Structure 1
Amino acid sequence: MIRRRLVVTATAMLAVALAALTIGFYAVLSWRLEGNADGVLRARAEAAAATVTTRDGRLVLTETPFDEALDNGLWVFDSGGALVSAPSRPSRLDRLAQDLGTSSRATFRDAGEDTRMLALPLHDAETPDATVVVALSLVPYENAERTALIGALVFDVLILALGALFVRRAVTQALRPVAQMTTQAATWSERDLDRRFGLGPPRDELTGLASTLDSLLGRLSAALRHEKRVTAEIAHELRTPLAQLRLETEIALRQERSVAQLRAALRHVLDGTDRMAEALETLIGLAQQSINPSTGTSTATDVAVEAVEAVRACHAPGREIRLDLGRSANLVVGCDREVVLRMLQPLLDNALRYGRSTVVLGVSHHENHVMFTVADDGPGFGADEVEAVFGPGAQGSAARPGEGAGLGLALARRLADTAGGSLTAKISQGGLVELRLPAA
């Protein structure tokens, strides 16, 4: 599992870093404690040297208030190496001190693991020739070093535990979008063409991946809707010619006809097959274009502007068409530009035909859809017309006799349904229709 691997890797790196820091800390601490011990030894030796003097030609130590402290671990030798002063109790250090008593320069030496000694020769003009040897127990320093190491190890364990918990939480939070996407994708079926992960604008690598996948799903769903629409168009375009060919053939077979009449019937059949061949070539060409994902999407504002310009060119001036684009500059429709135009143009035609002065084409975003609204200040739709006007050949009560064929709204709704959207009429003070198309 990727989360476990990330947590283990991050925790191992933290452990290595803490180990390196602890080793460095221990090395610096040992070096500093050893330096402090040497400093204490040198200070004691210099303090003892200050008490060395001569009396009647002999080396003696002057009495001071700190004689007892100085006498503990202090040896004084004359220039010939003879012992002048030693601790009151014999110890294992006496022999080593005797060896150091003949040193010609300051010498440090370890006596075992818990004692350090310093021999300091005195050659100044103000002091007699002598050698001062002092000893210092390293046990307090070793205890301090050991205590610091144990404290550092305990601190490392706590930091490692807290770091592991923090890394686990951070990784879980970072991978939560992936878990959500996995759960969502597992519940989708092949019919959920409009489902998206919907994690919002890219904020990091994972949300950027979700946004990219949403765009990919939009293009795929647009391609599938395009294929579905082309299939429906093929079935629709071939149904009527096939019915006509069958009718023409049945009539020719049922009645006795002359050669001229049969030739005319066959000519009708041939014309019908030519029309079907042309329709097939056109629709198959459209289907082949769907291989390119760019043919399955279009920019909402561009299509709206193009539809308005096309309708204006076909109508006499006098009525205003106003665009209400709002914040739709980046909206992408999961449908071909030509198909969206074929849906919008009959809606604008009806609005200009029945509106009195102003038609408003609005574009907005609603959930996973792009909504086109066409509103006019005409008589609008009655309660019994909001569905009836979408039937083939149906017209509203505001239509005058002989005005239009009643096919524009029916075609627009059929295209909207095929593209995975919807087209509805609303009861309003004027005419109002809403076209919803999937967003890419």
Structure 2
Amino acid sequence: MKHLSLTARMSLMFMLAVTVVLTVAGLSFNHLSQRHFESLDYQVLVEKLESTQSILQRLPSVTNMAGLKPQLNALLGAHRDLAAIILDSEGQVLFAEPAMVNVPQGLRVRSAPTMWEWQDQAVMYRGLTAEINIPGLAAPLTLLLVLDVTHHMAFFEALQRWFTIGLVISALVSAALGWVVARSGLSPLWQVTQMAASMSAKSLKERIPMEPVPMELQQLMASFNAMLARLDEAFVRLSNFSADIAHELRTPVSNLTTQTEVVLSRRRDIGAYEETLYSNLDDLNRMSRIIDDMLFLAKADNGLIVTQREQVQLEKIVDKLFDYYQLAAEDRGLSLKASGDGGVLGDVLMLDRAISNVLSNALRYTPRGNTVTVNITQTSAATTLSVENPGEMIPAEHLKRLFDRFYRVDPARREGGPSNVGLGLAITRSIVEAHRGRIWCTSAGGLTAFHMEFPRSAKA
């Protein structure tokens, strides 16, 4: 059954349910009908028994039995399926009407008024055996009342036969109806199947309408639509990423091609060739940095970044980076300030790279004469490092996209050297997430701040 379709399974279960219900109903009806007929037969026998007893009570002696025959015939003859046998104490037949029925000896000696059943070949009998005490007789008489119920048995056999035929027909009809109902009920699933089969990069914006979907399938349809939305977003980001990386690589490749063509257009001295090679080296370094960053992000996307777990004091990394960026800050007329301390469990080289990316970004966009501040705070649950700098505010709609690859608030700006290709913040986010942390940006009140939060280690 595991290879059957969902429609076939539901049809079979529907057929099975209908068959079970009809079978239980049929068996119950058959049982109740048999009990009803038995009750009617017992009632007839008891009535005839009481009437026969009343007639026999007027019998003065056994020799006067012939005088009661007209009354007994009138009483018993009204029921053509009923036979009566009266026996004396010696077992001799005193009366048999309408004909002698060969009742087994074991049924002739019962005294309790309980109905018995007996079958003779194809004929079915029900009867009562009773002893009748008559005044003036030393021994009681035995009365046998025998009712032919063969027609009852024939009725039940026909009923069972037609019930079996009806059960088979009902099972087949219920299976067909179950198939139709299941196909109709599962039509939203067919719609999903058809949409999934026809899905392409150009149809990711299509959605399944929720109005006609049954309540039981709305969660499934909502999940499918949400998956399409995620795929559409991922495809758009991938397309933009491909276009951005092509643009970033096209510039150094174009520079290399142009410079090389110019140098090779005519013979030049050694100094011109050296100058061209140095210029080409800058572009090659830029391309190499882009490729390295992209490989790092690809590993991060696939969970392949393995961090070295050791106790790292963030204030030591900040002090080291301040020494590194001190000359660059002085050239821009900026000052650096740090406060607080805290430790995390992580990879010191990766954390150094993440903080360096954010710090260099702050130095690049801070106006001359201002201060870039690094604050480290910690609580019982987390350690947070924030890099703040005054400057132009970032609109709220750009804050969440700052960590996308190659994203810039102003696409026309291409500041910085070969390393500034729009991947720094994306790499920083990957490093922070690899340390089970989170990063976000705030920009308000003349200050822009990048916050990195890490789970606090037990040793910190």
Alpha-carbon distance between aligned partners in 1 of 2:396 and 2:271, rounded to the nearest angstrom:
58
Is 237-246 or 202-211 further displaced after alignment? 202-211
Secondary structure of 2:403's aligned partner = helix
Percent of pairs identical after alignment? 20
For residues 126 and 44 of structure 1, do their structure 2 counterparts lie closer, same or farther at Cα, with a shift above 3 Å needed? farther
> 1:250/1:114 Cα in 2 relative to 1: closer, same or farther (>3 Å)?
closer
Instruction: Choose 153-162 or 37-46, whichever is displaced more.
Output: 153-162
Q: C-alpha separation between the residues in 1 aligned to 2:270 and 2:223?
A: 66
What does residue 117 of structure 1 align with?
127
Find the counterpart in structure 1 of residue 147 from structure 2: 136
Change over 3 Å in CA distance of 1:221–1:288 after alignment to 2: farther
Task: State how 1:248-263 maps to structure 2 within 5 Å.
Answer: 248-254=259-265, 259-263=270-274
The answer to whether 1:171 aligns with 2:155 is no
Q: 1:273 is matched with which residue? A: 284
Matched, 1:76 2:86: yes
Q: Hey, what does 2:243 align to over in structure 1? A: 232
SS of match in other structure, 2:19 = helix
Amino acid at match of 2:129: A
* Alignment equivalent of 2:403, drawn from 338, 360, 364: 338
How many residues are aligned here? 315
Equivalent-residue separation in structure 2 for 1:82 and 1:266 (angstroms): 141
Compute the displacement of 1:176 (Å).
Answer: 1.2
Contact 1:117–1:135 (CA<8 Å) still a contact in 2?
Answer: yes
Q: Secondary structure at the match of 2:91?
A: coil
Q: C-alpha distance in 2, partners of 1:216/1:154?
A: 51
Residue deviations 1:373-394 (CA, integer Å, cap 9, x gap): xxxxxxxxxxxxxxxxxxx89x
1:120 to partner: Cα distance: 0.6
Instruction: Measure how far apart 1:124 and its partner are.
Output: 8.4
Corresponding letter in the other structure for 2:22? L
Q: Could you tell me which amino acid in structure 1 is paired with residue 258 of structure 2? A: L
CA distance in structure 2 between the partners assigned to 1:18 and 1:339 by the alignment: 65
Alpha-carbon distance in 1 for matches of 2:136, 2:178: 68
Evaluate the alpha carbon distance shift between residue 214 and residue 71 of structure 1 in structure 2; reply closer, same or farther with a 3 A threshold. Answer: closer
C-alpha separation in 2, matches of 1:54 and 1:29:
39
Equivalent position amino acid for 1:164 in 2: A
Change over 3 Å in CA distance of 1:97–1:119 after alignment to 2: farther
Tell me how large the CA RMSD over aligned residues is: 4.6
- Provide the rounded CA distance (Å) in 1 between the counterparts of 2:74 and 2:142: 19
Question: Post-superposition shift, 1:313?
Answer: 6.6
Q: Deviations over 1:375-418 (max 9, x none)?
A: xxxxxxxxxxxxxxxxx89xxxxxxxxxxx9xxxxxxxxxxxxx
Task: Pick one of 311, 314, 334 that aligns with 2:392.
Answer: 314
TM-score by length of 1: 0.56
Give the letter aligned to residue 44 of structure 2: V
The residue type equivalent to 1:181 in the other structure is: V
Specify the SS of the correspondent of 2:186.
helix
Q: CA deviation at 1:232?
A: 1.6
Change (3 A) 1:179 1:43: same
Give ranges in structure 1 of 5+ residues lacking alignment: 293-309, 324-334, 348-391, 394-404, 406-440
**Distance in 2 separating the partners of 1:288 and 1:228:** 19
Question: How far does residue 177 in structure 1 lie from its aligned partner after superposition?
Answer: 1.9
Q: CA deviation at 1:179?
A: 1.9
Deviation at 1:78, TM superposition (A): 3.2
Deviation at residue 48 of structure 1 after TM alignment: 0.8
Structure 1 residues 200 and 242, CA gap change in structure 2 (3 angstroms): farther
Amino acid at match of 1:36: L
In structure 2, the partner of 1:22 is 26
SS at match of 1:79: coil
Report the Cα distance in structure 1 between the residues aligned to 2:257 and 2:195, rounded to whole angstroms. 50
Cα deviation, residue 135, structure 1: 2.0
Equivalent residues of 1:74, 1:86 under 8 A apart: yes
Cα deviations by residue, 1:292-349 (Å, 9 ceiling, x for unpaired): 7xxxxxxxxxxxxxxxxx9x97259xxxx899xxxxxxxxxxx966349947x459xx
Pair 1:79–1:105, CA change in 2 (3 A) = farther
- Tell me which of 164, 178, 196 is aligned to 1:185: 196
In the other structure, the counterpart of 2:56 is 52
Partner of 2:37: 33
Alpha-carbon separation, structure 2, partners of 1:215 and 1:247: 47
Structure-2 change in CA distance of 1:117 and 1:63 (3 Å): same
What letter corresponds to residue 11 of structure 2 in structure 1?
V
Q: Secondary structure of 1:81's match?
A: coil
The answer on whether the counterparts of 1:202 and 1:208 sit within 8 Å (CA) in structure 2 is no
Alignment correspondent of 2:353: none
- Structure-1 separation of matches of 2:64 and 2:93: 11
Deviates more, 1:5-14 or 1:227-236: 5-14
- Alignment of 1:156 with 2:167, yes or no, is yes
Matches of 2:251 and 2:406, distance apart in 1: 24
**TM-score (norm. length: structure 2):** 0.54
CA distance in 1, matches of 2:287, 2:269: 27
The change in CA–CA distance for 1:39 and 1:291 in structure 2 (over 3 A counts) is: same
Compared CA separation, residues 253 and 120, structure 1 to 2 (3 A): same
Q: Contact 2:205–2:232 at 8 Å: present in 1 too? A: yes
Q: Tell me which moved more, 223-232 or 235-244.
A: 223-232
Query: Could you report, residue by residue, the CA deviation over 1:91-132 in whole angstroms, capped at 9, with x for unpaired residues?
Result: 241x53998666555573526223333221124889972222
Query: Displacement of 1:236 after TM fit?
Result: 0.7
Letter in 1 for 2:285: D
- My pick for the range that moved more, 33-42 or 252-261, is 252-261
Segments of structure 2 that go 5 or more residues without pairing to the other structure are 78-82, 304-387, 416-460
Matched residue type, 2:33? L
Determine if the alignment matches structure 1 residue 246 to structure 2 residue 257: yes
| 2:103 matches 1:96 | yes
Q: Give, in whole Å, the separation in 1 of the partners of 2:214 and 2:113.
A: 68
Of residues 60-69 and 136-145 in structure 1, the stretch that sits farther from structure 2 once superposed is: 60-69
